[in-house]
Amino acid sequence: MSTTEATKVPGFCGLCIARCGSIASVEDGRFMRLDPDPTHPTGQALCAKGRAAPELVYSKQRLTRPLRRTRPKGEADPGWVEISWDEALDTTAAAMRQLAAAHGAHSVAFSQSSPSTTAIGDSAPFVRRLMNAFGTPNLVWALDLCGWGRGFATRYAFGVASVATGSGGGAMADIANSGCLILWGYNPSYTRLTHATATVEALKHGMKLIVIDPRHVGLAGKADLWLRPRPGTDGALALGLAHVMISRGWYDQAFVRAWTNAPHLVRSDTGRLLRAVDLAEGGGAGHFVAWDGLAGQPVAYDPAIGRYGTPVERLALEGEVMVATKQGMLPCRPVFAHYAQLCARHTPERVAAICWIAPDQVEAAARLLWHSRPVSYYAWSGHEHHANTTETARAMALLYALTGSFDQRGGNVLFPAVPNPVVTGEDLPAARHMAPAVGLESRPLGPAKWNNVSASDFYRAVLEGEPYPVRGLIGFGSNLLLAFSDPLRGRRALAALDFYVHADLFLNPTAELADIVLPVASCFEREALRFGFEISAEAQSLVQLRKPVVPPPGLARSDTDIIFDLAVRLGLGEHFWNGDVEAAYRHQLAPSGLSLEALRAEPRGIRVPLTTRHAKHAEPDPAGHARGFATPSRRVEFWSETMQAKGHAPMPEFVPPPNPDAERYPLVLTCAKPTLFCQTQHRALPSLRRRAMNPQVMLHPETAARRGIASGDWVSVETQAGAMRARALLNAAIDPRVVVGEHGWWQAAPEAGAPGYDPFSALGSNYNLAVDPAARDPISGTTAHRSGCCEVFRTSSMEQGKAADTRVAAQRA
Ligand SMILES: Nc1nc2c(c(=O)[nH]1)N[C@H]1C(S)=C(S)[C@@H](COP(=O)(O)OP(=O)(O)OC[C@H]3O[C@@H](n4cnc5c(=O)[nH]c(N)nc54)[C@H](O)[C@@H]3O)O[C@H]1N2
Ligand SMILES: Nc1nc2c(c(=O)[nH]1)N[C@H]1C(S)=C(S)[C@@H](COP(=O)(O)OP(=O)(O)OC[C@H]3O[C@@H](n4cnc5c(=O)[nH]c(N)nc54)[C@H](O)[C@@H]3O)O[C@H]1N2
Ligand code: SF4
Ligand SMILES: [Mo]
């Protein structure tokens, strides 16, 4: 029994994207427990990870002092010695300056964990600001896997993210007002509790739900329809659903005519969009052409004002027309006719063959979508971790455009945000003269366009000097060697760097290759300012200054403090409020009218009233023209000239995941996140680990039986690229041709008597050792973590695992 009454500290759990409103209890200076705060818009519940927060805070494996390596990389013992913050940051600043002077600032890359799986969102804008102030565009992180599909590929259709995570801007599912929600390769019951809670609430009020997932998990049991796709075929499913909707007339013709480029004519000779200048001298070179079905003549569309010379209702969406051009009569068809044709190649029967989903289920899903509007959708890792993710995400976005629900109440809505200035520093002097990011040369429309670098492009820059050498890495979290494919190459790259500093809570296998390691305060040990909680208009209105629950262990500091301090040591203090974090917060708060003092006095946060407006594309811009969408045509683009100009298909063609050796690897390998851990973290927390001692791989009982595998057996999962081990978990609800693994296992939990795993050996349990690093999305570079092919062996004797290990080592040598 405690003698003192617990102090309650309201805040929010920062361990994952859900950012659940919480109340921490502190007794005698010790953080005892974390509970939900039901007054908070995201405070309905906490997951097991959130409830284990005190274990994270007090974990014996936490980093508490800055460390410096004293022995060469590659030796088993790095010979870490404790150093002061002054030495750590002065050494870092000196190394950065030296590399910049010798090779340019772009030779220093930064890395960062995903804000969806850590609290780095507290500091992410300042990480980018430091990069921009210093002059490097190279941020190595998981964007190609985490956000590209939903938030970036969809920009090529909508001009904004059509399924946004939130803080990056973009449309979010207005779940509370939806008629029908699609959870597409997304299992919020495990991965974003707040969305699961909101969905369950909306179901009570009659919302329909479609779950598209190879596993029957989470809300699949509550869904009106559960579609079980063959992993990696979601693009074909989206086209197939669109086909049913178009052929039944189940699409919003008014929206498609008025707000998409579906009416624009495509030339039959060049396969390009027809321009007004093609019709007559003096026609606009930038003006597209549609067909006025009533007048039977072409009509120009000026993207600058977003208008046709005729009422949109008259625009043709189908058929072929003969257009008088400067070269004579030319057959042309509207974009929509081309799209309908692409979709028509994906009949329900064809979808059944590709996606392993019964034709009547495709029909039923299309019917439900049309008859239960407004529709909202949320799609995540299930559709993102494939080498065809860009086209899949575009196909889904175009399907969504057919519903006409975009930015409508109950659809995917561009919610307002409490006004706050951009602090990422794209306007800083050094940012204006930066080299292009690594990867832009090979994939100009991919993550590098937004200065994000995939791990494999980073490894190439380090090891091969392509497109230019990268020699330094400044890491804020992130566990490259576990999170991405090709860990052996990654290890070589990290070891080859001239300088690597890594800031983290734990010494992960990636950080083990650093020259200097910096101890970071957890989100329960540091202050952070947050604008909006994303899941609804109401949640967006809350601004909160999260208080530390307890002080950090040892000398650990927040990422934000480290960044500001480093900036000053780099001579960049003028861009960092002279190192004063509070001054930065005041700057961020100024447009909202809130003061730091008021927020300190209200630890539960303050609401700034916001008004949600819908269909903002129809609102006038300052010049009085309808705003439209932020695409080159000002319209949702069914046909993307941007894609076409770079040699890609203008519409989202489906490319099936390849299986070059189906004989040897007959099963499809995908994966999913566990509920108890985030990514490669949290395995050391005893209460969580006791509930999941070993990595698991889900197999259908028939698949297991045919291979002599019983529930709980250790098995080796082998692919052409490599292998990993895990224990068999039998599940009759998955397709017998599908295997579902987990990634992220390396850490031991001594208090739970649970082992660690070697990330670089097939005897360990590194899923990503078995991912083919060469199969990548041509637009984004995303690797196929979820559509590889494999075989599974029982390995009780370990012989199989050893054989696989030898084979992998030989392949990589
Ligand atoms: N507990 C926990 N929460 C987390 C995280 C975590 O690691 N653990 N990570 C955070 C991060 S960074 C992210 S990105 C989010 C991700 O959140 P989610 O997207 O929900 O994460 P996953 O479980 O990886 O994938 C979702 C579903 O995709 C299914 N799936 C697999 N292959 C396919 C496929 O080919 N097609 C379709 N349609 N579905 C498929 C899986 O069975 C799984 O149920 O979660 C965040 N929250
Ligand atoms: N096979 C497979 N591979 C995957 C995935 C998958 O589902 N399957 N998911 C992919 C996805 S979606 C993502 S996002 C990536 C995730 O990859 P990463 O973004 O690298 O995330 P983690 O691997 O969890 O590593 C996070 C690291 O950040 C540290 N950390 C936590 N909080 C903080 C903090 O506040 N500050 C600092 N400085 N450090 C902190 C943690 O201790 C940990 O070492 O993995 C990708 N890889
Ligand atoms: S879902 Fe769990 S880990 Fe994520 S913020 Fe909520 S309590 Fe924390
Ligand atoms: Mo992620």
Instruction: Collect all residues with Cβ–Cβ distance below 8 Å to 9 and sequence separation of at least 6.
Output: 23, 24, 25, 26, 547, 549, 603
Sign of CA dihedral 628, 630, 633, 637: negative
Residue 212 Cα: closest atom of ligand 1: 38
Closest ligand (CA of 216)? 1
Task: Give the integer Cα–Cα distance in Å for 120 and 140.
Answer: 14
**Residue 506 per-residue DSSP state:** B
- Residue 559's identity, in one-letter code, is D
Mutation test of ligand 3: which of 46, 51, 549 has the most ligand atoms closer than 8 Å to its C-beta? Answer: 46
Which pLDDT does position 166 carry in this prediction?
53
Q: Beta partners for 108? A: 472
Query: Is the distance from CB of 503 to CB of 559 less than 8 angstroms?
Result: yes
Which pLDDT does position 796 carry in this prediction?
62
- Residue 115's identity, in one-letter code, is P
Alpha carbon of 700 to ligand 2 centroid (Å): 29
Closest ligand (CA of 782)? 2
Which residues form ligand 1's pocket by a CB distance below 6 Å? Answer: 16-17, 114, 116-117, 146, 184-187, 190-192, 212-215, 217, 229, 231-232, 234, 380-383, 670, 672-673, 675, 677-679, 786
Which pLDDT does position 510 carry in this prediction?
98
Mutation test of ligand 2: which of 140, 458, 479 has the most ligand atoms closer than 8 Å to its C-beta? Answer: 479
Query: Is the distance from CB of 380 to CB of 150 less than 8 angstroms?
Result: yes
Closest ligand (CA of 682)? 2
Task: Give the integer Cα–Cα distance in Å for 493 and 513.
Answer: 10
Residue 671 Cα: closest atom of ligand 1: 31
Count of C-beta atoms within a 10 Å radius of residue 772: 21
Q: Beta partners for 183? A: 211, 378
Residue 380 Cα: closest atom of ligand 2: 12
**Residue ranges in 686-798 assigned as alpha helix (H):** 686-689, 701-706
Looking at beta carbons, which pairs linking 323-327 to residues 24 or more positions away fall under 8 Å? 323/265, 323/274, 323/279, 323/289, 323/291, 323/298, 324/279, 324/298, 325/274, 325/278, 325/279, 326/278, 326/279, 326/280, 326/281
Mutation test of ligand 3: which of 165, 193, 194, 687 has the most ligand atoms closer than 8 Å to its C-beta? Answer: 193
Classify 798 in phi/psi space as left (phi over 0), alpha (psi -120 to 50) or beta: left
Alpha carbon of 472 to ligand 1 centroid (Å): 32
70 burial type by CB count under 10 A (0-12 exposed, 13-18 middle, 19+ buried): exposed
Among 400, 408, 370, smallest CA distance to 163 is for 400
Query: Is the distance from CB of 524 to CB of 57 less than 8 angstroms?
Result: yes
Query: Is the distance from CB of 573 to CB of 634 less than 8 angstroms?
Result: no
Alpha carbon of 679 to ligand 1 centroid (Å): 10
Name the residue at shortest CA distance from atom 5 of ligand 1. Answer: 678
Among 335, 329, 337, 314, smallest CA distance to 279 is for 329
Task: Give the integer Cα–Cα distance in Å for 315 and 230.
Answer: 38
To which H or E segment does residue 22 belong? strand 21-27
Among 415, 517, 427, smallest CA distance to 91 is for 517
Residue 379 Cα: closest atom of ligand 1: 19
Which residues form ligand 2's pocket by a CB distance below 6 Å? Answer: 113-114, 116-120, 142, 145-146, 381, 476-479, 482-483, 503-506, 508, 520, 523, 559, 671, 673, 678-681, 743, 767-768, 785
- Whose tokens are 């259709």? That residue is 157
Is residue 680 classed as helix, strand or coil in its secondary structure? coil
What is the token pair recorded at 772?
């083919």
Task: Give the integer Cα–Cα distance in Å for 278 and 466.
Answer: 41
Task: Give the integer Cα–Cα distance in Å for 585 and 578.
Answer: 13
Mutation test of ligand 2: which of 15, 118, 557 has the most ligand atoms closer than 8 Å to its C-beta? Answer: 118
Task: Give the integer Cα–Cα distance in Å for 618 and 607.
Answer: 28
Residue 141 Cα: closest atom of ligand 2: 19
Task: Give the integer Cα–Cα distance in Å for 16 and 20.
Answer: 9
What is the token pair recorded at 361?
């289920």
What domains lie within the chain, and their CATH numbers? 6-57 (2.20.25.90), 67-140+421-528+556-597 (3.40.50.740), 260-340+620-635 (no CATH), 667-812 (2.40.40.20)
Low-confidence spans in the chain with pLDDT less than 70: 1-4, 164-169, 796-813
Half-sphere exposure of 801 (CA within 13 A, CB side): 20
Alpha carbon of 141 to ligand 2 centroid (Å): 9
Query: Is the distance from CB of 180 to CB of 205 less than 8 angstroms?
Result: no
Task: Give the integer Cα–Cα distance in Å for 386 and 775.
Answer: 9
Residue 679 Cα: closest atom of ligand 2: 24
Residue 213 Cα: closest atom of ligand 1: 39
Closest ligand (CA of 142)? 2
432 burial type by CB count under 10 A (0-12 exposed, 13-18 middle, 19+ buried): exposed
Half-sphere exposure of 723 (CA within 13 A, CB side): 27
Task: Give the integer Cα–Cα distance in Å for 251 and 267.
Answer: 25
Task: Give the integer Cα–Cα distance in Å for 808 and 722.
Answer: 5
Which pLDDT does position 516 carry in this prediction?
98
Residue 47 Cα: closest atom of ligand 3: 2
Alpha carbon of 384 to ligand 4 centroid (Å): 10
Alpha carbon of 672 to ligand 1 centroid (Å): 5
Alpha carbon of 47 to ligand 2 centroid (Å): 18
Mutation test of ligand 2: which of 679, 743, 767 has the most ligand atoms closer than 8 Å to its C-beta? Answer: 679
Task: Give the integer Cα–Cα distance in Å for 760 and 748.
Answer: 15
pTM, to two decimals:
0.97
Name the residue at shortest CA distance from atom 4 of ligand 3. Answer: 16
Residue 681 Cα: closest atom of ligand 2: 24
Query: Is the distance from CB of 724 to CB of 762 less than 8 angstroms?
Result: yes
Alpha carbon of 116 to ligand 3 centroid (Å): 10
Task: Give the integer Cα–Cα distance in Å for 180 and 410.
Answer: 8
CA angle, 565 then 419 then 161, to 5°: 90
**Residue 530 per-residue DSSP state:** E
Which pLDDT does position 795 carry in this prediction?
85
Task: Give the integer Cα–Cα distance in Å for 198 and 709.
Answer: 39
Alpha carbon of 384 to ligand 1 centroid (Å): 9
Which residues form ligand 3's pocket by a CB distance below 6 Å? Answer: 13, 15-16, 18-20, 46-47, 49-50, 193
Which pLDDT does position 809 carry in this prediction?
54
Sign of CA dihedral 87, 89, 92, 93: negative
Question: What is the DSSP track for 277-323?
Answer: HHHSTT--TT-EEEEETTTTEEEEEETTTTEESS-GGGB--SS-EEE
Mutation test of ligand 2: which of 143, 145, 516 has the most ligand atoms closer than 8 Å to its C-beta? Answer: 145
Instruction: Collect all residues with Cβ–Cβ distance below 8 Å to 66 and sequence separation of at least 6.
Output: 82, 83, 84, 85, 87, 88, 516, 517, 518, 519, 555
